[in-house]
Chain A
Amino acid sequence: MKIGGAGMLAACWGGWAARVSAGVPALPQALSGQDIELRVAHRMLRIDGHETHAIGINGGIPGPLLRLREGQDVRLTVVNDLPGEDTSIHWHGLLVPFQMDGVPGISFPGIKAGSRFTYQFPLRQSGTYWYHSHSGLQEQMGHYGPIVIDPAGADPISSDREHVVVLSDHSAMHPHTIFKKLKQQGGYFNYQKQTLAGQIAGRDQKSADRLEWGKMRMDPTDISDVTGSTYRFLINGQTARDNWTGLFRPGERVRLRFVNASAMTIFNVRIPGLSMMVVAADGLPVKPVQVDEFQIANAETYDVIVTPADDRAYGLVAEAIDRSGMAFATLAPRPGMVAVAPPLRARPLATMKDMGMDMAGMDPDMMDMSSMHMGMRDQRNAPALPLGPGVQTISPMPADRTGEPGQGLANAGHKVLVYSDLVALEANPDTRPPGRTIEIHLTGNMERYMWAFDGKKLSEVGEPIPFTAGERVRIVLINDTMMNHPIHLHGHFFELATDKGDHAPRKHTVNVQPGSTVTFDLTADAIGDWAFHCHMLYHMHAGMMRVVSVRPAVSA
């Protein structure tokens, strides 16, 4: 099926992302089949009455849903109608040959203005995925869309109806300007800082803490770099005022396929009055987990099943992690119903644990302060790390926080999904123990807006991180910063090391909480060069990225 240039605008609000959606299976507007054409072009996006510059795919923001089937081959021809600007599409989470992965400068040369490029690959998996530009900062301007791949056989996850829910952030400000403001003033977009008024009102830290944090030049309100002060948060391209509505019949099992296509926003998702059963993470089925809320980092996907019993509207709340705004939509039995949006909850404040000081986790009997280095930038806590201006802090005691709710949700008062809840439905394909371990420090300087792996920006690093094809490697990510970093490895799934034996959850993107560590095991089985980066768009743009190479073993 091909959709040409004409009639694209008519399609842009059609179907799965239409303001009122009956659900995915009924939709003709999803693109299916073996030959699909995607046109990337500028368009104006009207958000709450204001026109903003944006990039659409086949006229849509998000781009069209690609509904494909495991086992089929697909040819995706991307036409670049952007004037004077290269583009690309990366198929996030899909296992494709490296030259089809869509990262200019790593997988292929990119797609020049006015030209086209045909991606071709077999679909070796099923589940909820997405696609987005890997060129410049186009993703921030609307260059993203969802992918649903149906299993070749029976779907282990049964449902009566499904909706795709694409979360994103959009600003009227050009992404280059956003980045420049961040370089000029790291806290530019934060309008939830500590103030005298806030202190008097009891919203902020107590004086002693505030003094202590001030001494360290650390701002506990620095939760998101780019916030609701410039962003409008969208569900399927629509604001709360648009009220995207997903229909259901009371009693149905409704599968919601969440994709976080945001440039910079982690969302807390809940549906007041409904509990959600998480059934898949990053596209792959997990043993069902019942939760009231989950945090979804940039580029992650979660599938949940809800069973709304009542004949009423339910609010679908995706609150920005810093509580500076929310995306809001309605699940309803009939069009025209509007759920009531709950108020934003109080903004979280970062804690000592977010600075990598996990005092609580220490065994008091074992505590030998003399052997510990509690400074916030002590070389002894990371001997190999170059202590340049880009390394503001080194976590002295980083904790594994995969068993903890995401930032700001510790006291949510209900069940919040944690990574350690996730158990793969199917046994892992490779259960060999890792042959070696690589430690990677996630480093940054919030004052200079510098972000890097191991203190070095991609622009400063010549060589990739090398892997031998087929080898099993343990990777330990140590977050030396006070920000969340959703880390994405292209071309692979990795098994999170959360003691789930041969049923470790397999992911393509994992959020490393502030001041914490995340460990995963990887079978480097995809030969080629791959991108490995933080999925906070401006962190990546600042240099928080590496190339990973997978090569056949060299015979001696």
Chain B
Amino acid sequence: MNMRIPRAGALPVLVALLAAMPVQAQEMPAGEMADHAHMHHDAVSSAEQASQQAPQQAAQQAAPPPAPSGHAADAIWGAEAMAPSRATLRHEHGGMTTNQIMVDLAEVQFRRGREGYRWEGEGWWGGDIDRLVVKTQGEGRFGGAADAAEAQALYSRATGPYYNLQAGVRQDIGAGPKRTYAVIGLEGLAPYWFETDAAVFLSDKGDVTARLEGWYDQRITQRLILQPRAEVNLAAQNVPDQAVGAGLSNIEAGLRLRYEIAREFAPYVGVSWERKLGRTKRYAQALGEGSGGAAFVIGVRTWF
């Protein structure tokens, strides 16, 4: 394609444009630039002349003109030639989508006598407001299937500057019953820079549970970051086959120190402490499991 000087279209817009385009750019002699603005005075509307005579303050309420009926460039290059570039312009100035995959926790947990692993992460795809979010988390002992693992697929919508309302489904994929849940949650940044994630789950058996998570990045230096983290799980009723009791079922707290070799790659060490509570604790004891304890963790936080 070799576009040179405007090819004339018969569009009325062009006629209007040319009619109003006093010699203007094309043939203006040098040195008349300063006079240029005055050349338009003839074209000034009567409304505007009226406003010139009015005092400045009162005059500032003149009505804006109506939106133009067409695109100026269409009259020069043709609407067909302009349409794709106009679509690109809009897309490239705010219309793009992007994505991120964030592995917040990927760690080995050392407890007395048994080593386990844990992961937690999420990915998102979409624009500024609407996104598809996939979350997954789980933990287990080496040599066996994950004790607990889940994946969520959520539609996420920004509801304000800091928070996203999320709704979708969760599927348990670890050992034990393979429950499916409806999920509704709120994820975002709280005052004082606390990251928060709260969700309520309704299982296909009608059980209602909830989870609250929060963490905070305390920068010690630009790359060395201490992250306290807490999680609370609640249940509206007993869920015996999952060994979850009504009320506050367990709490978990962690403290992880990471070093950002790059923003996207930060190895960490830390401690994680968990305690089952109430009836959940009694379920665990009945199953011969511990009711919690501390673990030393080593892992990596990574995203791309």
Contacts and interface: CB of A to CB of B under 8 A. Distances in A.
A548 to B, nearest CB: 10
A58 B84 CA distance: 28
Interface stretch (B20-28, B177-185, B207-215): B20-28
A470 interface: yes
Given A109-B85, A432-B52, A466 B64 contact: yes
Contact of A183 (B2, B20, B31, B98): B98
Contact of B90 (A196, A459, A469): A459
B94 A106 contact: no
Interface string A95-109: 111111001111111
Given A197-B220, A541-B92, A124 B35 contact: no
Interface in A114-145: 115-118, 120-125, 136
A448 interface: yes
Contacts of B189: 217, 447
A460 B94 contact: yes
Contact of B67 (A96, A125, A448, A466): A466
A390 B2 contact: no
B160 A389 contact: yes
Interface in B46-62: 47-48, 51-52, 56, 59-62
A192 B221 CA distance: 9
B83 to A, nearest CB: 9
A184 B122 CA distance: 13
Interface residues of B, number: 86
Interface residues of A, number: 105
Given A108-B73, A122-B28, A470-B40, A217 B68 contact: no
B72 to A, nearest CB: 4
A65 B71 CA distance: 33
B191 A215 contact: yes
Contacts of B95: 457, 459, 543
B66 A71 contact: no
Contact of A436 (B62, B71, B81): B62
A153 B29 CA distance: 13
Nearest to A121: B25
Contact of B98 (A117, A180, A467, A552): A180
Contact of B52 (A70, A435, A447, A458): A435
Nearest to B163: A389
B296 interface: no
Contacts of A172: none
A429 B2 CA distance: 38
Interface string B183-223: 00000010111000000000000000000000000111110
Contacts of B62: 435-436, 471
B2 A115 contact: yes
Which residue, A110, A527, A545, has most C-beta atoms of chain B within 10 A?
A527
A469 B40 contact: yes
A436 B84 CA distance: 35
Contacts of B34: 426, 429
Nearest to B80: A109
Contacts of A125: 33
Query: Chain A binding site: helix, strand, loop or mixed by DSSP?
Result: loop
Contacts of A460: 94
Contacts of B93: 457-459, 533, 540-545
B167 interface: no
A239 interface: no
A193 interface: yes
A10 interface: no
Contact of A185 (B40, B72, B263): B263
B158 interface: yes
A452 interface: yes
Interface stretch (B3-11, B243-251, B272-280): B3-11
Contact of A450 (B32, B61, B98, B128): B128
B77 A99 contact: yes
Interface string A191-212: 1111111000000000000010
B193 A112 contact: no
Given A470-B44, A543-B93, A445 B161 contact: yes
A362 interface: no
A437 interface: yes
B82 interface: yes
B122 to A, nearest CB: 12
A496 to B, nearest CB: 16
A434 interface: yes
Interface string A377-395: 1000000000011111000
Nearest to B226: A196
Given A124-B36, A152-B30, A217 B162 contact: yes
Contacts of A319: none
Contacts of B44: 470-471, 553
Given A96-B25, A136-B92, A545-B93, 16 more contacts: A108-B82, A109-B77, A110-B85, A110-B88, A112-B1, A118-B5, A122-B28, A125-B33, A194-B219, A434-B56, A434-B59, A447-B189, A448-B161, A466-B66, A469-B20, A471-B65
Interface pairs A-B: 4 shortest CB-CB: A71-B30, A543-B94, A105-B89, A457-B94
Interface of A: 70-72, 86, 95-100, 103-112, 115-118, 120-125, 136, 152-153, 179-181, 183-185, 188, 191-197, 211, 214-217, 377, 388-392, 426, 429-430, 432-438, 445, 447-448, 450, 452, 457-460, 463-464, 466-472, 474, 523, 525-529, 533, 540-545, 549, 551-554
5 contacts: A124-B30, A214-B192, A388-B129, A438-B64, A551-B20
